[in-house]
Amino acid sequence: MVAKLDGKVAVITGASSGIGEATAEALAAEGASVVVAARREDRLSGLVERINGNGGKALSVAADVTDEGQAHELVRRAKSEFGRVDILVNNAGVMQLSAVEKGLSDEWRRMFDVNVLGLLYATDAAVQVMKEQGSGHLVNISSVAGRRSRATTGVYSGTKFAVNAISEALRQELLEDNIRVTIVEPGAVATELATHITDEDAKENLSGLLSLDILQAEDIANAIAYCVTQPERVSVNEILIRPTQQP
Ligand code: NDP
192 lines ligand 1 (CB under 6 A): yes
**Residue 21 CA to ligand 1 centre (angstroms):** 10
User: With a cut of 70, which residues of the chain have pLDDT below it?
Assistant: 1
**Residue 18 CA to ligand 1 centre (angstroms):** 7
Give residue limits of the domains in the chain.
9-239
Catalytic annotation, pick one of 156, 224, 236, 238 = 156
pLDDT of residue 2: 73
Mean pLDDT of the chain: 98
pLDDT of residue 207: 97
243 lines ligand 1 (CB under 6 A): no
13 lines ligand 1 (CB under 6 A): yes
**Residue 61 CA to ligand 1 centre (angstroms):** 16
What is the DSSP secondary-structure string of the chain? ---TTTT-EEEEESTTSHHHHHHHHHHHHTT-EEEEEES-HHHHHHHHHHHHHTT-EEEEEE--TTSHHHHHHHHHHHHHHHS---EEEE---------GGG--HHHHHHHIIIIIIIHHHHHHHHHHHHHHHT-EEEEEE--GGGT---TTTHHHHHHHHHHHHHHHHHHHHHGGGTEEEEEEEE--BSSSGGGG---HHHHHHHHHHHTS--B-HHHHHHHHHHHHTS-TT----EEEE--TT--
Q: What is the CA radius of gyration of the chain?
A: 17
pLDDT of residue 1: 60
Q: Which CATH architecture has domain 9-239?
A: 3-Layer(aba) Sandwich (3.40)
Q: Which residues pair with 180 in a beta bridge?
A: 137
ipTM of the complex: 0.99
